């Protein structure tokens, strides 16, 4: 689906009638008469200069892709932008609201929605098209929807091109690569059975893969269970090629997150659904642990739109888009303080993490590691919390933090992306530089990457620039790393030109590079033979 071309008709602007040059030339010159003239047309002085042709203003606002906050500021500072514009499709809407609606119509997720669905989303977001636009833009920014992406799963990797093609490689003991076999793949291989289906999101778990199409359909392959309790655990059966999840066919899904014991999906309206992990009413519902039916996440988020979800070991984070700003909710197991509420207690229903209000930080990206979590704020600050083993929180020690804490060593950069794994954290700056800290096992941090150097396995307690990625002279836009406590970690880095680099554990082919001799890992980023642009 093209993100720039819209299948919905654009707003109809009033045309300015052209005059021919001949008519201007043959007309007799008017008799000179002194008149008091101004730039407001026939309007009185003091009104907005372009009030006589507001369609020009609408065209400029839409063409410049103004931020929803900028549109709101225009309304707050000038009555012209608050008044009904008397334009189709809604004559009561203001110029700013019409501009926001037109920009919403250009978004890939919004275009297929019926008018009733669009109005329902507007009400859910707070009754304003500016808030709907903020919701859509936030989801695109933190989830890379409609863009290429790479996923480092437990023992296998996925790569989604900007055209929606999917490549997979690595471990395949449960058919999680989707090629119709159980054989490992040491080189990226396209999933042929998905031809004609455009994929916009991917998620990888232990022996399991889920893919989301641009039509909101979910395809799964590998183990049939929605989360594994231990290494090597096997579902009752598995699929080696992608199968559509029929229980989700009536839900337009835009993201999936696979955690231990459960899986969660996010609808385009911002609703969260979960599978399994319903014992003892965990996640707000009581079901059998093998339940394959989606259940809505109950509690405060029932009426609050969510733009991103992230799943860790027995817990779920949700980035919510409320009228007052962005916020983060958490639910599940609180061991190690990873829920961020200042305690280690479990939460059966989503609970607002209040610390971000105290820090005056607007969360924009959220990441859930196995035992710790991280957030990037609008101002570029990074917060981490949870189990601090091996220094994965970046605070210079291995202490636990039960509430979000700003990583002081990163205050000199503006972060735009964060990724977490099993006691490992990566941060990407606005300039495309990458910083990592935490567990150095499997050389997955990317530091001291020359083969044979013993210190490339050293744990890092505070953020350090990944110089091995700096040397490739490419701007990194996304990092993904293994988020599982049962697999040796590996990391993949995607550049803005569509190049993919991998490093860390590679014993199953998950680096997309065939290792030689006794090698089982690579400390230095190696280019994977695939173009995601």
Residues whose CB falls within 8 Å of the CB of residue 345, separated by 6 or more in sequence, listed in order: 334, 339
State residue 18's pLDDT score: 41
CA dihedral 517, 521, 526, 532 (to 10 degrees): 110
Between CA 471 and CA 467 the distance in angstroms is 6
What are the structural domains of the chain? 53-115 (no CATH), 143-226+236-528 (2.130.10.30)
State residue 448's pLDDT score: 66
The region, left, alpha or beta by phi > 0 then psi within -120 to 50, assigned to residue 444 is alpha
Query: pTM here?
Result: 0.86
CA dihedral 459, 461, 464, 468 (to 10 degrees): 10
Residue found by looking up tokens 């979910």 in the block: 218
528 neighbors 152 (Cβ within 8 angstroms): no
Between CA 209 and CA 230 the distance in angstroms is 17
State residue 61's pLDDT score: 82
Q: Is the peptide bond before 89 cis (omega within 30 degrees of 0)?
A: yes
Sign of CA dihedral 353, 356, 358, 362: negative
The region, left, alpha or beta by phi > 0 then psi within -120 to 50, assigned to residue 20 is beta
State residue 57's pLDDT score: 78
State residue 26's pLDDT score: 45
Q: Which two tokens stand for residue 277?
A: 């992990």
Q: Could you read off the pLDDT tens digit of each residue along the chain, which spans 533 residues? A: 444 444 444 444 444 344 443 343 444 555 544 444 333 444 454 444 445 566 777 778 887 778 888 898 888 888 888 888 887 788 888 989 999 999 999 998 999 999 999 999 999 999 999 999 999 999 999 998 889 999 999 999 999 999 999 999 999 999 999 999 999 999 999 999 999 999 999 999 999 999 999 999 999 999 875 544 444 444 557 899 999 999 999 999 999 999 888 899 999 999 999 987 666 667 777 666 666 788 899 899 999 999 999 999 999 999 999 888 999 999 999 999 999 999 999 999 999 999 999 999 999 999 999 999 999 999 999 999 999 999 999 999 999 999 999 999 999 999 999 999 999 999 999 999 999 999 988 888 998 645 444 566 789 999 999 999 999 999 999 999 998 777 889 999 999 999 999 999 999 999 998 888 788 899 899 999 999 98
421 neighbors 444 (Cβ within 8 angstroms): yes
**DSSP-derived 3-state class of residue 464:** strand
Sign of CA dihedral 496, 190, 427, 216: positive
Closest residue by Cα to residue 308 from 347, 254, 378:
254
State residue 17's pLDDT score: 41
Length of the chain: 533
Longest Cα separation, the chain: 96
CA angle (176 as vertex; 170, 182 as ends), nearest 5 = 75
Between CA 132 and CA 142 the distance in angstroms is 16
State residue 303's pLDDT score: 92
**DSSP-derived 3-state class of residue 79:** helix
Q: Which two tokens stand for residue 188?
A: 């990226």
Q: Which two tokens stand for residue 248?
A: 């989700």
């Amino acid at each position: 689906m093209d993100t720039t071309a819209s299948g919905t008709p654009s707003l109809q602007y009033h045309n300015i009638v052209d005059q021919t040059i001949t008519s201007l030339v043959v007309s007799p010159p008017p008799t000179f008469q002194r008149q008091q003239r101004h730039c407001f047309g026939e309007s009185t002085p003091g009104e907005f200069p372009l009030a006589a042709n507001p369609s020009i203003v609408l065209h400029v606002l839409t063409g410049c892709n103004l931020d929803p906050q900028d549109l709101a500021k225009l309304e707050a500072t000038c009555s012209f932008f608050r008044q009904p514009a008397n334009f189709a499709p809604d004559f009561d809407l203001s110029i700013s609201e019409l501009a926001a609606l037109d920009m919403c119509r250009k978004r890939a997720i919004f275009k297929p929605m019926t008018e009733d669905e669009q109005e329902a989303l507007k009400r859910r977001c707070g009754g304003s098209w500016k808030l709907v636009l903020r919701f859509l833009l936030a989801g695109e920014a933190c989830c890379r929807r409609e863009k290429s992406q790479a996923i480092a799963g437990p023992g296998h990797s996925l790569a989604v091109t900007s055209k929606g093609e999917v490549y997979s490689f690595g471990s395949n003991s449960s058919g999680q690569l989707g090629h119709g076999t159980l054989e490992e793949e040491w080189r990226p291989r396209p999933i042929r059975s998905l031809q004609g289906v455009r994929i916009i999101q991917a998620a990888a778990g232990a022996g399991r893969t889920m893919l989301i199409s641009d039509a909101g359909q979910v395809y799964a392959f590998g183990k049939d269970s929605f989360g594994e309790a231990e290494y090597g655990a096997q579902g009752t059966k598995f699929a080696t090629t992608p199968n559509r999840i029929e229980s989700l066919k009536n839900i337009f899904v835009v993201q999936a997150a696979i955690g231990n014991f459960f899986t969660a999906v996010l609808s385009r309206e911002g609703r969260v659904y979960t599978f399994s992990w319903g014992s003892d009413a965990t996640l707000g519902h009581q079901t059998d642990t093998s339940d394959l039916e989606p259940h809505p996440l109950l509690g405060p988020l029932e009426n609050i739109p969510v733009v991103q979800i992230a799943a860790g070991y027995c817990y779920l984070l949700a980035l919510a888009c409320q009228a007052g700003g962005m916020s983060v909710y958490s639910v599940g197991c609180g061991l190690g303080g990873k829920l961020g509420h200042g305690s280690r207690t479990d939460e059966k229903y989503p609970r607002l993490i209040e610390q971000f209000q105290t820090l005056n930080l607007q969360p924009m990206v959220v990441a859930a590691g196995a035992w710790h979590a991280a957030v990037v704020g609008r101002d570029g600050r990074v917060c981490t919390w949870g189990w601090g083993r091996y220094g994965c929180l970046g605070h210079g020690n291995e202490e636990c933090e039960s509430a979000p804490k700003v990583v002081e060593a990163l205050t000199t950069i503006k972060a735009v992306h964060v990724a977490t794994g099993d006691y490992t954290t990566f941060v990407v700056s606005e300039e495309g530089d990458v910083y990592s800290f935490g567990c150095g096992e499997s050389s997955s941090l990317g530091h001291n990457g020359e083969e044979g150097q013993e210190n490339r396995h050293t744990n890092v307690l505070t953020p350090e620039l990944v110089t091995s990625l700096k040397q490739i002279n490419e701007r990194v836009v996304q990092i993904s790393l293994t988020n599982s406590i049962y697999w040796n970690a590996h990391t993949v880095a995607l550049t803005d030109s569509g190049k993919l680099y991998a490093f860390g554990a590679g014993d199953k082919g998950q680096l997309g590079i065939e290792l030689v001799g006794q090698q089982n890992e690579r400390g230095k980023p190696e280019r994977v033979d695939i173009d995601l642009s």
